[in-house]
Amino acid sequence: MAGLKQPADKSHFLLPDLGEGLVEAELIRWLVKPGDTVKESQAIAEMQTDKALVEVPSPWAGTITELCGKDGDIIKVAAVLVRYAPQGAKATAVTSEAKPSACLSSQAAAGASEDQGTVVGSMAGTLEVASRFARKAEEHAPNKAPGKSLATPAVRRIAKELAIDINRVDGTGRGGRVTATDVASFAQSAAGSAASGFAARAVPVPSPLPPVDKDGVSQRIPFRGVRRKIAEALARSVQTAVHFTAVDEADITALDAKRREYSRVIGEKLSTLPFVMLAVCRALRAFPSLNANVDDAANEILIKGVINLGVAVDTPSGLMVPVIRDADRKSPLELGTAIKTLASKCKDRSITREESMGGTFTISNVGSYGGMFATPIINYPEVAILAAGRSRERVLVKDGKFYAGLVLPLSISCDHRVVDGAEAVRFLNEVIRLLEHPSEFTK
């Protein structure tokens, strides 16, 4: 790329950070094979991050000699992804199975010099020389003043598994944050360990899992891709947030009439979901403690000034949660259009990581599949999620008179560490009040 200093050594390419703070990604499939000649920025692999399916571009033109991994492998950031034939040399194809150890080397183990650095590609197709990742003994000097390092929970988990005091690791990330590469380099730096007097301890071996009866198995489905990322996210949420759920119902008879009126005016069918989203936005302004994220690493509750609504979308690959930014500033029609657009992107796997980040509150429309009440799991690090069930006709009573009405079941799950039960119920009551008086928020 123009204006960028290219290193002399282009023999290998390290997996870049495909998103802010990412420490690993799953290899879905290769788009090239050993012996292929690729162009600069040509897609060489599809990888699944915690948010989206992304294509990894080649940082330069060259001939692929080795693919370091197979479909379903979890590749760490800064690990060797592919190897290239030296310029002017004849390429000899090598599979990852033939040289498994070579593919496991990390960026620090590659031995890049400070002058040469290492090239890391970004998903925008640009490149930057990340010499800050080069292995330097002085980066792990023992005289580092003790203090609490900045790091994401994922990086802290890696440090814990490696029995490393993360507060002794120098951070090279944005704002001085400790990255996964910093931890890996520290662990591999014998000089740093010896000088600091830190003795590495063996990582404890987890208890063996109970045996699974294999009798009668009709199909084996690899637990990977979006499904594995969903499992990891849900497990993290359940293990971290303290869940509780409150349920209630809203009489949306008047709202349904308003919805039909909107549909006639715009000439297309509009579902109830955009109106539920608008009511939620109004209620979040009244109860801002539910429009928040929890930063467990910093022990802080982050109340958000913007309302970015996540909407759970069912896809053939599994559940995905795209985010509609500034949802409170949109009309029902704009919300309906945004839902359709993002749902379509989720289903054809064209959704970007940025379109799945920054959520402050999530809504799950379980009613679209016939469900009524639910106990939804919080989209961590958010603190609340609302499930809207299937609306049903019911005989209702008002002012001593019977009438045929439409009832919408609602379920809200909250993180009890942040939201008290009374606060959650008051929030839900405000959502119900707005849904039952649509003229207040549909003007």
Q: Please state whether beta strands 127-129 and 243-251 pair in parallel, antiparallel, or not at all (unpaired).
A: unpaired
Is residue 247 within 8 Å of residue 410, measured between CB atoms? yes
Is residue 435 within 8 Å of residue 279, measured between CB atoms? yes
Residues 6+ away with beta carbon under 8 Å from 36:
63, 64
Cβ atoms within 10 Å of 57's Cβ, excluding its own: 23
Q: What tokens were used for 190?
A: 């014998």
CA dist., res. 32 & res. 42, Å (int): 10
SS3 of the chain: the string is CCCCCCCCCCCEEECCCCCCCCCEEEEEEECCCCCCEECCCCEEEEEECCCCEEEEECCCCEEEEEECCCCCCEEECCEEEEEECCCCCCCCCECCCCCCHHHHCECCCCCCCCCCCCEEECCCCCEEECHHHCCCHHHHCCCCCCCCCCCCHHHHHHHHHCCCCHHHCCCCCHHHCCCHHHHHHHHHCHHHHHHHCCCCCCCCCCCCCCCCCCCCCCCCCCCCHHHHHHHHHHHHHHHHCCEEEEEEEEECHHHHHHHHHHHHHHCCCCCCHHHHHHHHHHHHHHCHHHCEEEECCCCEEEECCCCCEEECEEECCEEECCEECCHHHCCHHHHHHHHHHHHHHHHCCCCCCHHHCCCCEEEECHHHHCCCCCCCCCCCCECEEEEECCCEEEEEEECCEEEEEEEEEEEEEEECCCCCHHHHHHHHHHHHHHHHCHHHCCC
Kindly list the catalytic residues. 416
Burial pattern 218-236, b for ≥16 Cβ within 10 A else e, equals: eeeeeebbbebbbeebeeb
Bridge partners for 404 per DSSP: 395
